[in-house]
Amino acid sequence: MPATLLRIHPENPPQNRIQQAVDVLRKGGVIIYPTDTVYGIGCDVTNAKAVERVCRIKGINPEKANLSFICYDLSHISDYAHGINTATYKVIKKALPGPFTFLFEASANAPRFGGTKRKTVGIRVPDNQIIRQLVKELGNPIVSTSVRESEETLEEYVTDPDLIYEKYRLLVDLVIDGGFGGNTPSTIIDCTNDDFELVREGAGDIEPYL
């Protein structure tokens, strides 16, 4: 059965439409949604079968998947990451919400995709009201990975939600149209050594926050 295409206003997301998307996630569904960078594909972080489905759609091994978690704010970070010192926390608090993925040491509570304990977790708090309100209403982070034009062309992303729907409508349960997405992914910053090491340069510049 084809996915539902749900159009949501990016600035003022109606509660009933957010709830519609949350209902899909709570039933173990996989959705596609806008962020402050590129469109993402994901599911409820607590649903192992849904996470495996996301990995199958992307053609990646769950044990080796570098999936990030989208959170509403910083309150969930301590649930999944540890070893965050005060100085690091102050920086990420200033930088988020924003176009960054911060890597931390995984805590014992971090989900084990494919049964494998993770050494690190990537945390995202996008500056996008649709996905943040969705996560807030769900009550759990969302496992997230980017929607690419092709997994062979790592730097090309699909920006038109109608084209995304055509490509993924038989693979996912819901596609949220929140307007055109960007073509530059988040900046990845490694914080595991109490430092801010640039892993991937993307849409965010961490320097002003250091």
The DSSP annotation for 93-118 comes to: HHH-SSSEEEEEEE-TTS--GGGPPP
Share of the chain above pLDDT 70, in %: 95
5 sits in which H/E element: strand 4-7
**Tokens at residue 105, please?**
């040491």
Whether 115 has a pLDDT exceeding 70, the answer reads: no
pLDDT for the residue numbered 90: 96
- Please report which confidence band the pLDDT of residue 119 belongs to, taking 50, 70 and 90 as the band edges: confident
Whether 149 has a pLDDT exceeding 60, the answer reads: yes
Whether 114 has a pLDDT exceeding 70, the answer reads: no
- DSSP per residue over 13-73, as a string? --HHHHHHHHHHHHTT--EEE--SSS-EEEEETT-HHHHHHHHHHHT--TTT---EEE-SS
Whether 154 has a pLDDT exceeding 70, the answer reads: no
Q: Which residues pair with 86 in a beta bridge?
A: none
Pairwise pLDDT comparison (37 vs 115), residue with the higher score: 37
**Tokens at residue 206, please?**
């961490």
Closest CA to 187 of 57, 100, 104: 100
Q: Which residue has the tokens 């969705």?
A: 134
Whether 113 has a pLDDT exceeding 80, the answer reads: no
Range in 76-80, 112-116, 189-193 the model is least confident about: 112-116
pLDDT for the residue numbered 196: 95
Whether 110 has a pLDDT exceeding 90, the answer reads: no
**Rounded CA Rg of the chain:** 16
Whether 153 has a pLDDT exceeding 60, the answer reads: no
| pTM, two decimal places | 0.94
What do you get for the CA distance between the two ends of the chain, in Å? 48
Closest CA to 160 of 177, 174, 172, 145: 177
- Please report which confidence band the pLDDT of residue 189 belongs to, taking 50, 70 and 90 as the band edges: very high
- Please report which confidence band the pLDDT of residue 34 belongs to, taking 50, 70 and 90 as the band edges: very high
Average pLDDT score over residue span 103-110: 88
